[in-house]
Amino acid sequence: MPNQDKMYNGMRNIRDIAANMVPPGVCYVEPFGGHAWVAKEVCDSQKGKATTCIIGDINPEPLEWVKTHHKNLKAILKVQDWKKTVNEAPADCVFLFDPPFQVAPVIPGRQPGRNWNYNYYPDIKEWCDRTKRKCIVNLPNSRANLYNMVKPLFTNDKRWKCIEGEKIQKGKKPGAKDLHWRYLICKNF
């Protein structure tokens, strides 16, 4: 099994931004769960604001990692395809989509997850628009191969509100470089 600590970084460093987009008292679903960084905030048994949480991923390894690393997470974990996860979820849920995508070039020492080179975004947007469910979508950042193709799909549609920015964390040691995370997150509610 690949080293899970070097995979599925996902929204780890911008989880607070996405978690603040989730309204309190709702059912919350992450169909591309990975390491469930946003769910860690939203579904925490001590401070979480969701009533029910469902985390799905087609790969069992990240969900096993979640069980050992997110001790206070109160969630139903499902090893299955994202479409099955969203179609089984209750109608009143809020969905956070953070599908795998390739950052160009692949970061040395990191292994992309399975299916990282497939463009899930048209399918996700079609499902959200068709079902009229409340959806939050983390789009590829400007370093990703899909950025120029996917960004207009959401930003040119008036039903979707998008925020794009950069989060900067100051270097912790003298002389250390600042860390930068670019993001583009859209929601349809």
In tens, the pLDDT along 38-85 reads 999 999 988 889 999 999 999 999 999 999 999 899 999 999 999 999
DSSP 4: G
3-state secondary structure of 134: strand
Token look-up 């009143």 returns: 92
Band of pLDDT at residue 128, cut at 50, 70 and 90: very high
Amino acid symbol at 143: R
Residue 180 has pLDDT above 90, yes or no: no
How far, rounded to the nearest angstrom, does the alpha carbon of residue 158 sit from its chain's CA centroid?
Answer: 22
Q: What is the mean pLDDT of residues 130-145?
A: 90
CB 115 within 8 A of CB 58: yes
Q: Give the class (CATH, top level) of 4-187.
A: alpha beta
Q: What is the mean pLDDT of residues 9-19?
A: 85
In angstroms, the CA 189 to CA 175 distance is 43
The whole-number pLDDT of residue 99 equals: 92
Total-model pTM: 0.86
The whole-number pLDDT of residue 132 equals: 97
How far, rounded to the nearest angstrom, does the alpha carbon of residue 48 sit from its chain's CA centroid?
Answer: 17
DSSP 148: H
Band of pLDDT at residue 103, cut at 50, 70 and 90: low
Taking the C-alpha atoms of 13, 74, 72 and 169 in order, what is their torsion angle to the nearest 10 degrees?
A: 10
In angstroms, the CA 6 to CA 2 distance is 8
CB 121 within 8 A of CB 114: no
Band of pLDDT at residue 181, cut at 50, 70 and 90: confident
The whole-number pLDDT of residue 116 equals: 61
The whole-number pLDDT of residue 142 equals: 78
Q: How far lies 135's CA from each of 1, 18, 38, 92, 152, in Å?
A: 32, 11, 14, 11, 17
The whole-number pLDDT of residue 1 equals: 45
